[in-house]
Amino acid sequence: QRLVLAVDGPSGSGKSSVSRRVARVLGLGVLDTGAMYRAVTCAALDRGLDLADADAVAALARAAQLEQSLDPERESVVIDGTDVTTAIREPRVSAAVSAVATNLAVREELVARQRAVAASGGVVIEGRDITTVVAPDAPVRILLTADEGARVARRARELHGTADAQALAATQDLVVLRDARDSTVAAFTTAAEGVVEIDTSALGFDEVVQAVLDVVVA
Ligand code: ADP
Ligand code: CDP
């Protein structure tokens, strides 16, 4: 099964959860590229590296042994023998990841690894630069978008179990600031030519999954 689906979107657009479900339905693997940037961030923090030391962080990324499950039923990320599956979701990592993701030498290394996965095929690859840089030739390329309010509300529900005013206020900066920092790297949020954009703001999860599957069949 050689099919490759490239899926991009900003934080809270639904790319991870939708990609996982689509992979399951189609019997494909799934590669969460954000988890790779998060794993390197985790390792750098654990080693006490200064994230502003671009050379040191890049050296870590190049030398890192990264084992990531592509099985949509089983999320697992291990870096240099340390299981970071849970740790990569911690707020300290979310707060620091943009500093690692804007390191161009780190991107070069991780993009090369992602392209190797794309070359084997049979996978949904999701991130920020998959449709444009990692797999611009993928037969199916999708950009999921959603307005800021929807994305903040989804994250608030995920992190706090509610989207009340307090939860929204606590989540707003997390989403908006990280997107602003990420956007210095590339035009993450505009669809390149040939990329199908799906605005998920007013769609439920199942509707988004169906919309993606419709693109695959078309
Ligand atoms: P991303 O990977 O783009 O940051 P996620 O897939 O992690 O986004 O989704 C963020 C949260 O929003 C998750 O809790 C997910 O279950 C939920 N979610 C995803 N798609 C939708 C949708 N269409 N409507 C409502 N909630 C959604
Ligand atoms: O789930 P969310 O969209 O919030 O984040 P993620 O997909 O786990 O990605 C975490 C971070 O990794 C992003 O904020 C980007 O800084 C970076 N990233 C990237 O630069 N390029 C990618 N292809 C994927 C993620």
pLDDT at 189: 60
Ligand 2 near 9 CB (within 6 A): no
More confident of the two residues 124 and 2: 124
CA pair distance 172, 148, nearest whole angstrom? 9
pLDDT at 180: 83
- Per-residue pLDDT of 148-182, as tens digits, reads 999 999 999 999 999 999 999 999 988 888 888 87
Mean of pLDDT over the chain = 94
The two tokens of residue 216 are: 């695959």
Contact 130, 136 (CB under 8 A): no
The residue whose CA is least distant from atom 20 of ligand 2 is 101
CATH number at residue 135: 3.40.50.300
Task: Give the range of the structural domain holding residue 14, as residue numbers without chain letter.
Answer: 4-217
- Per-residue pLDDT of 87-115, as tens digits, reads 999 989 999 999 999 999 999 999 999 99
pLDDT at 118: 97
Q: If 0-12 CB within 10 Å is exposed, 13-18 middle and 19+ buried, where does residue 122 land?
A: middle
Ligand 2 near 11 CB (within 6 A): yes
Count of structural domains, the chain: 1
How remote is the CA of residue 44 from the centroid of ligand 2, in Å?
16
Strand pairing report for 140-145 and 4-8:
parallel
Atom of ligand 1 nearest to the CA of 17: 6
What is the ipTM, given to two decimal places? 0.97
The residue whose CA is least distant from atom 12 of ligand 1 is 154
pLDDT at 183: 76
pLDDT at 185: 67
**Neighbour order of strands in the sheet with 196-199:** 29-32, 123-127, 4-8, 140-145, 196-199
Identify the helix (H) or strand (E) that includes residue 83: strand 82-83
